[in-house]
Amino acid sequence: MTADASLFGQAQAWLDEDWARMEKTLGPRLEAFRGKHILVTGAAGFLGFGFLHFFSYLNRNLLKTEPLSIVAADNYIRGCPRWLTELAAASPDIQLVRQDITKPWMGSAGHRFDFIIHGASIASPKVYRQYPLETLDTNISGLRHMLELAKSHRAESILYFSSSEIYGDPPAHEIPTNEAYRGNVSCIGPRACYDESKRLGETLCYLYHQQHGVRAKIVRPFNNFGPGLRLADGRVLPDFCRDILADRDIVLRSDGSPTRTFCYVSDALTGYLLTLLSSHHAEPFNIGSDSPEISMRELGRMLLEVAGSKRKVIHTPSEEADYLTDNPNRRCPNLEKSRSLLGYTPLVDLRFGLSRMLQWYKQFVGLEELAKDERVG
């Protein structure tokens, strides 16, 4: 066994703690996946990391005799990450496919998908501000191609990832924000390409369900984090973790007052699968954590405490002119609908989740990968 193979095995065993928690929570619902065929788009991204590792865990444990068959699709524009090639090599039920989802599906016509998990999107503000038209194409044309695929395959369900960003910047009386709030979103500005295309995506899901009977499921994620999130992603927690790994002060690009809630990956994936397997079609569900709602300044301090670092949180304005334009001041979900209709309850404490994320970077990503991310980021 090579050192790399040994490291992969260690990482897989370490992650199994999270997947076992999901298996316990989802329980008998997971039988719906027995012997089924699933397409996961955006397979090389953060959500792809979580779903593919969890499905691999199910095939090694619960579904040994009738495993899931998984097609992992991505355009691999930033390369195929090592974790994905290693997972596919160790998992005969995972097939890697190169696919630009802004084009019609090019896979085998005889391969029917029972479930489609459509995770392909440009979600990092740093990236979608650089590529606004590509973001629109991915979020609109890409989704429509996947809805057409679900229609032609008569899929049991297709999962669409909308965003909490569709709420824009709600007034104080709309926080925590429930699914009935219609949003306060600018259709012109540096974030509009993402926010508005996600809103239109929900309309597409609604229309395909109304006109073609496509069983589209809609989730609105709230700030997911955890193992698998790239250090160069450009979102707040990877940026903070990069500072800690490099043993430097945590740099805030805002004044530190905006507040968010953060949802650990196993809780997020549990909510997504509860939605995918539910009988609720073409209606949105908030998936995230509703506490603590924490400022970016306090989040940085908490992460330093978790890391045992004596560094500080400092403020250095971004050189990017549009960095804070239309940035919401608060973001916190009302989970009443998800709790009552899906049975969804986030379980992982924020401090524990931050510790897991840091452990992942230190043990299985390391400073060499940090240096690579700084070059490409």
pLDDT tens, 266-300?
A: 999 999 999 999 999 999 999 999 999 999 999 99
pLDDT of residue 233: 83
Is the predicted pLDDT of residue 377 greater than 60, yes or no? no
pLDDT of residue 325: 62
Would you state the structure tokens that stand for residue 33, as one six-digit string?
């996946």
Banded pLDDT at 243 (limits 50, 70, 90): very high
Q: Determine which one of 128, 160, 167, 194 is catalytic.
A: 194
Number of C-beta neighbours around residue 315 at 10 A = 12
Q: Please write the tens of the pLDDT for every residue from 307-363.
A: 999 999 998 887 765 655 667 899 999 999 999 999 999 999 999 999 999 999 999
- Percent pLDDT > 70 in the chain is 93
Cα radius of gyration (the chain): 20
> Which has the higher per-residue pLDDT, 2 or 375?
2
Cβ(298)–Cβ(261) below 8 Å: no
Between 251-265, 308-322, 361-375, the lowest mean confidence (pLDDT) is in 361-375
* Cis before 176 (ω within 30): yes
* Cis before 132 (ω within 30): no
Task: Tell me the mean pLDDT in the region 2-28.
Answer: 89
Task: Tell me the mean pLDDT in the region 8-14.
Answer: 92
pLDDT of residue 150: 97
Task: Tell me the mean pLDDT in the region 48-66.
Answer: 97
Between 18-22, 101-105, 209-213, the lowest mean confidence (pLDDT) is in 101-105
Banded pLDDT at 374 (limits 50, 70, 90): very low
Cβ(244)–Cβ(311) below 8 Å: yes
Q: Please write the tens of the pLDDT for every residue from 139-186.
A: 999 999 999 999 999 999 999 999 999 999 999 999 999 999 999 999
Give the C-alpha separation, 226 to 357, whole Å. Answer: 5
Supply the DSSP symbol for 100.
-
Question: Has this prediction a pTM greater than 0.75?
Answer: yes
Mean pLDDT of the chain: 92
Supply the DSSP symbol for 164.
G
Helices vs. strands in the chain: H and E counts, helices first = 13, 14
Q: Please write the tens of the pLDDT for every residue from 76-112.
A: 887 899 999 999 999 999 999 999 999 999 876 557 9
pLDDT of residue 321: 59
Between 8-17, 125-134, 259-268, the lowest mean confidence (pLDDT) is in 125-134
Is 3-230+263-291+331-349 in CATH node 3.50.30.30? no
Q: Would you call 361 a catalytic residue per the annotation?
A: no
Q: Name 98's bridge partners.
A: 74
Q: Where are the domains of the chain?
A: 3-230+263-291+331-349
Is the predicted pLDDT of residue 5 greater than 70, yes or no? no
Output the DSSP codes for 106-146. -S-TT---SEEEE------HHHHHH-HHHHHIIIIIIHHHH
Between 60-74, 188-202, 353-367, the lowest mean confidence (pLDDT) is in 353-367
Give the C-alpha separation, 56 to 103, whole Å. Answer: 28
Cβ(38)–Cβ(95) below 8 Å: no
Is the predicted pLDDT of residue 1 greater than 50, yes or no? no
pLDDT of residue 69: 97
Q: Name 331's bridge partners.
A: 260
Banded pLDDT at 373 (limits 50, 70, 90): very low
Is the predicted pLDDT of residue 368 greater than 80, yes or no? no
Give the C-alpha separation, 303 to 282, whole Å. Answer: 37
